[in-house]
Amino acid sequence: MPRSFTLPNGKIVTKPKNNAWIYTTIFIVLFALFWLFIDFRARDIQLNQFDDILKQMFSPYSAGGIQETWKDYFGYTSKLVEPLIDTMKMSFAGTIIGTVAAFPFSVLASVNIVKNPWIYQPFKFFSNLIRTIPLMVVALIAVLFVGTGILSGIMAITFFSFSIMIKMLYEVIETVDMGPNEALEACGANKVTSFRFAVFPQVVTTYIGYIVYIFEINIRASAILGYVGAGGIGSILKDNVLYRYDRVGLIIIVLVVLFSIIQIFTNLIKSKLV
Amino acid sequence: MIKFVNVDKVYPNGFQALKNINLEIYDGEFVAIIGLSGAGKSTLLRTINKIHPITGGELYIDGQDISKVQGQELRVLRRGIGMIFQSFNLVKRMSVFKNVLAGRVAYHSTFKTIFGLFPVKDKTIALEALDKMGILEKAYVRADQLSGGQQQRVALARSLAQEPSIILADEPVASLDPITTLQVMDDFARINKEFKITIIANMHHVDLAMKYSTRIVGIKDGEIVFDGPVAELTEKKLVEVYGRSLNKDDVLEGV
Amino acid sequence: MKKNRLLINPTVELALKSQPKTYWFTILIVLFMIYLIVISFEGSGINEYRLAQFAKSFGYMLKGFMNPDWEYFFGTGDIWEFKDSIVLAAIVTIAIAFIGTALSLILAIPMGFISARNITGKATSKTGDVILVFIRTFPEIVLALVLLRVFGYNALTGVITIAIHSVGMLGKLFAESIENIDKGVLEALDAVGANWLQKIRYGVLPQVLPDFISISLYRFDINLRSSTVLGYILSIGLGLKLAFASNGPDWNKVASVMISIIVLISIIDYISGKIRTKLV
């Protein structure tokens, strides 16, 4: 709805169309439409549970009337050690294998390294497809493949890390300065050697930074992987989630502590990279 | 010796960069190529080490027709030809030493070079090259921590490490300040005389070209319009090459 | 040969000897990592039997991809109705992500302003920051499991889980965006005598709005993935379909659900990517 203003001196100014209204309307319409699909029955809502649950999670209060002490509450930690180590193992092994395996695929998906569209386009397309699969879905499939336990967890994290690293890495490779590469080729280097000397040094620190970043994501997610049976602390979570909120709360606290420690380590590594 | 016979270069998009080039460059010469930007200087230089292969005519280097050369043969050809760039093209994160060592890659198998397994002989050659350029003390410093002039010297050392017979230079001093420019050009002159290496340099500054080279080749619109010793390059001939009279961009002040 | 070179240039010889041997460090790290990986596999139960089973199941899955269950997908045919179809489940999944993200904005935007150092003071913004960190680090799945008890096994739980978690994520990014604005505009508004609300409306908002939209779209992308995962726990949407297909497992159905997930998220990724590039 363009509006025109006529100034006193006779000049006419037309205000350009404001698209913001259209977009807002679209947004509201979408919201209303999608809301139709959210089903819930008001009578199922038991807000009073909130208070109860929170108390159970973070204190020795117990709904069943069995009095616990703080010692009991924290005592459960000893049972968590092994699953935690499992989680760490899975995340570490999976991240490293997946991200390293992604490297050659990223190179093949890079426009500036592989000049031939028949090669890089399929690799780009493939990487964009597999990137969409959420980690837990991968884990579920992995469990269907090899059964429950850490193995499926490692496989799932490997595939997931692989899938997200490819795009992250090829985007870096494509922004590299190709000058040194030309110089190396002029010296008589073949494609592999010129890559190793001219391109690789430019991406290696960013690459390692990404590996660390992906490791962090995986640690956070792998705690949950156990929920589908892929091992680690998530399976403990699943077993206890509906009736022993004190353990759930403890696990959350332990996880937060773990994540913070890992965060400190990864920040250390990242600062060393520059 | 480099011999161009009726050489043409047409790019895939149809643009003809070089027309009917006939040129002979003898061992040990210092040739400066001058001309406007886009006249074909860079293309001419890059046909010699086949970064841009020619599309017509013949190009002989030391008697060998290089149009058929590829694969391992091409790498052997290229390792005998050094190339210097306006933007130095060093690998910024690597040490100076490793940058120079990279010049030796065509002498070894891919496996060895990937893992950095260069023999002691190569490492010595690399360090000697740095010494010849007078920057041996910077050997283990990161390349991007050097000044422009020093970086170009590292690039020169990289070329020297190849033990080449020819060095191609694409506007080697265009990014440097006037004083460093003279120092680097002095280095080129020294390399030419002391190590008997043929130098072919694209020069943006005409006065520099005339001061340091023995022979000038002027290119206009992909054709050679002047080819002769420096003494023959008159004001009139210069106007032919540039299509206009010189302005102050074409001359380095104070030379 | 070596001896000759020694005599020729002592400075070069010295330089050769003083090479920094950093590669040992790299080799050590690589070996250590390999060792860690190998012991990670201990106790994982990796053996030929499992690997053979993996290969077999992988083959089944590929066959399933060649021949997805289209009737199940669209809810046509004799067995399935539309309400059982994957398409409907996909719509529900998007709906949860969309509504969840949209609702989170209600709290996320104010929290963003509160946590921005240039709007509130150091103390308030730090408090806001800490709150956001806590919300963020609380694992989404655990949040969902807890909210289950309160809201039940339905889409609403999913919506609220995503909404709460997104407040943490979006709040932080919004705050960063606000902290990066050009202060000059605020100064100019001060000069014309605007109050703080007007300063936000005319000074801050125009600068951060495109960024906010971009960030929200990015979050929507990620929440779409979460929505699928939450569906598994809450027995709704595509997650439920996946759980259902895992019985057996019925690889044709699994493939159908996977295809749906890949297609759905790819399309939304693409659209949101396009919108975001236009915003910049």
Q: Is residue C1 part of a domain?
A: no
- Burial class for C14, CB neighbours closer than 10 Å (0-12, 13-18, 19+): exposed
Residue ranges of C 9-38 with Cβ closer than 8 A to chain A: 33, 36-37
Q: Indicate whether A126 and A194 sit together in one domain.
A: yes
Query: Each residue of B71-125: pLDDT tens digit?
Result: 889 999 999 999 999 999 999 989 999 999 999 999 998 888 888 888 888 999 9
What residues of chain A lie within 8 A of the CB of B61, using their CB? none
Report the C-alpha gap between B90 and B155 in whole angstroms.
Answer: 7
The answer, for C176 touching chain A at a CB cutoff of 8 Å, is no
The answer, for C23 touching chain B at a CB cutoff of 8 Å, is yes
Q: Which of B40, B50, B118 is nearest to B83 (CA)?
A: B50
Domain end among A45, A68, A91:
A68
What CATH number corresponds to the domain at position C155? 1.10.3720.10
> In the prediction, which pLDDT does A43 show?
60
DSSP alpha helices (H): ranges in A109-244?
117-130, 135-146, 150-173, 179-187, 191-194, 200-225, 233-240
Point out the residue among B83, B92, B110 whose CB comes nearest to the CB of A183. Answer: B83
Report the C-alpha gap between B234 and C3 in whole angstroms.
Answer: 54
Residue ranges of B 54-113 with Cβ closer than 8 A to chain A: 74-79, 81-83, 85, 87, 89-94, 102-103, 105-106, 110, 113
The answer, for A191 touching chain B at a CB cutoff of 8 Å, is no
Q: Which of B11, B23, B7, B37 is nearest to B170 (CA)?
A: B37
CA C96 to the chain's CA centroid: 16
Looking at the complex, report in whole angstroms how far the Cα of residue B127 sits from the nearest Cα belonging to chain C: 6
Q: Which of A179, A206, A132 is nearest to C265 (CA)?
A: A132
The pair of structure tokens assigned to C184 is 């000059």
Point out the residue among A40, A151, A251 whose CB comes nearest to the CB of C44. Answer: A151
**Domain spans of chain B, in order of start:** 1-80+168-255, 83-163
Q: Which of C10, A196, A180 is nearest to B151 (CA)?
A: A180
Query: Taking a C-beta distance cutoff of 8 angstroms, is the pair A158, A98 a contact?
Result: yes
CB pairs below 8 Å between B and C: how many?
A: 28
Point out the residue among A187, A190, A198 whose CB comes nearest to the CB of B91. Answer: A198
The answer, for B53 touching chain A at a CB cutoff of 8 Å, is no
**ipTM over 0.90 threshold:** no
Q: Is residue C86 part of a domain?
A: yes
Q: Do A188 and B155 touch (CB under 8 A)?
A: no
Domain end among A46, A68, A90:
A68
The answer, for C19 touching chain B at a CB cutoff of 8 Å, is yes
**Which DSSP state fits A10?**
S
The subunits that touch chain C, with at least 3 C-beta pairs less than 8 Å apart, are: A, B
Collapse the DSSP code of B92 into the 3-class scheme (helix H, G, I; strand E, B; otherwise coil) and give the result.
coil
Report the C-alpha gap between C272 and C268 in whole angstroms.
Answer: 6
Count of C-beta atoms within a 10 Å radius of residue C237:
27
- Quote the CATH superfamily of domain B1-80+168-255: P-loop containing nucleotide triphosphate hydrolases (3.40.50.300)
Report the C-alpha gap between C103 and C105 in whole angstroms.
Answer: 5
Query: Each residue of B22-33: pLDDT tens digit?
Result: 999 999 999 999
Token pair 């139960």: residue:
C45
DSSP labels, A45-107: --THHHHHHHHHHHSS--TTS----HHHHHHTHHHHHHHHHHHHHHHHHHHHHHHHHHHHHHH
> In the prediction, which pLDDT does A164 show?
95
Residue of C nearest to B97 (CA): C19
Domain end among A68, A95, A115:
A68
Of the residues A95, A144, A220, A236, the best mutation for testing chain C's interface (the one with the most C CB atoms within 10 Å of its CB) is: A144
Residue of B nearest to A201 (CA): B93
Q: What is the overall mean pLDDT for chain A? A: 84
Overall domain count for chain C: 1
Report the C-alpha gap between C220 and C265 in whole angstroms.
Answer: 10
H or E stretch including A149?
none
Mean pLDDT over residues B176-184, rounded? 91
**Which DSSP state fits B197?**
-
> In the prediction, which pLDDT does A62 show?
57
Query: Each residue of A4-14: pLDDT tens digit?
Result: 778 888 788 87
Q: What is the overall mean pLDDT for chain B? A: 90
> In the prediction, which pLDDT does C222 show?
93
Looking at the complex, report in whole angstroms how far the Cα of residue B109 sits from the nearest Cα belonging to chain A: 9
How would you write the pLDDT of chain C (280 residues) with one tens digit per residue?
454 544 457 777 777 777 777 788 888 989 999 998 888 888 777 788 888 888 888 888 888 888 887 877 887 777 777 777 888 889 899 999 999 999 999 999 999 988 888 877 788 888 888 889 888 878 888 888 888 877 888 888 899 999 999 999 999 999 988 888 888 888 888 888 888 788 888 888 888 888 999 999 999 999 999 999 999 888 888 988 888 888 888 888 888 899 999 999 999 999 998 988 887 7
Q: Indicate whether A29 and A149 sit together in one domain.
A: no
Point out the residue among B79, B114, B155 whose CB comes nearest to the CB of A188. Answer: B79
Overall domain count for chain A: 2
Domain limits at A173? 76-273
Q: Is residue C67 part of a domain?
A: no
- Burial class for A216, CB neighbours closer than 10 Å (0-12, 13-18, 19+): middle
Q: Do C15 and B116 touch (CB under 8 A)?
A: no
Q: Do C16 and B127 touch (CB under 8 A)?
A: yes
Q: Do A90 and C151 touch (CB under 8 A)?
A: no
Collapse the DSSP code of A110 into the 3-class scheme (helix H, G, I; strand E, B; otherwise coil) and give the result.
coil
Report the C-alpha gap between A96 and A212 in whole angstroms.
Answer: 9
The answer, for C146 touching chain A at a CB cutoff of 8 Å, is yes
Mean pLDDT over residues B1-20, rounded? 90
Query: Taking a C-beta distance cutoff of 8 angstroms, is the pair C113, C200 a contact?
Result: yes
Q: Could you tell me which residues are beta bridge partners of residue B202?
A: B33, B170
H or E stretch including B220?
strand B215-220
Q: Indicate whether A165 and A39 sit together in one domain.
A: no
Q: Which of C234, C213, C216, C214 is nearest to C92 (CA)?
A: C234
Q: Indicate whether A226 and A268 sit together in one domain.
A: yes
Point out the residue among B74, B76, B91 whose CB comes nearest to the CB of A180. Answer: B91
Domain limits at C179? 74-279
User: pLDDT below 50 — which residues of chain A?
Assistant: none
Report the C-alpha gap between A178 and A200 in whole angstroms.
Answer: 11
> In the prediction, which pLDDT does C64 show?
84
The answer, for A213 touching chain B at a CB cutoff of 8 Å, is no
Residue ranges of A 15-34 with Cβ closer than 8 A to chain B: none
Residue ranges of C 59-98 with Cβ closer than 8 A to chain A: 61, 91-92, 94-96, 98
> In the prediction, which pLDDT does C1 show?
45
Q: Which of B110, B119, B77, B84 is nearest to B199 (CA)?
A: B84
Collapse the DSSP code of B135 into the 3-class scheme (helix H, G, I; strand E, B; otherwise coil) and give the result.
coil
Mean pLDDT over residues B48-72, rounded? 89
H helix and E strand count, chain B: 9, 10
Query: Taking a C-beta distance cutoff of 8 angstroms, is the pair C92, C155 a contact?
Result: yes
The subunits that touch chain B, with at least 3 C-beta pairs less than 8 Å apart, are: A, C
Looking at the complex, report in whole angstroms how far the Cα of residue B53 sits from the nearest Cα belonging to chain A: 13
The pair of structure tokens assigned to A189 is 């280097």
Query: Taking a C-beta distance cutoff of 8 angstroms, is the pair B163, B171 a contact?
Result: no
Q: Do B87 and A182 touch (CB under 8 A)?
A: no
Q: Could you tell me which residues are beta bridge partners of residue B2?
A: B25, B61
CA distances from C48 to A153, B204, C51 (A): 18, 68, 5
Residue ranges of B 185-244 with Cβ closer than 8 A to chain A: none
Report the relative pairing of strands B166-170 and B64-65 from DSSP bridges: unpaired
Residue of C nearest to B96 (CA): C19
Query: Taking a C-beta distance cutoff of 8 angstroms, is the pair B101, B122 a contact?
Result: yes
Residue of A nearest to B87 (CA): A179
Q: Is residue C14 part of a domain?
A: no
The pair of structure tokens assigned to A270 is 């990242």
Using beta carbons and an 8 Å cutoff, which residues of B are at the interface with C? 95, 97, 116, 120-121, 123-124, 127-128, 130-131, 136, 139-140
Q: Rounded to the nearest 5 degrees, what angle is found at the Cα of A173, between the Cα atoms of B79 and A165?
A: 135
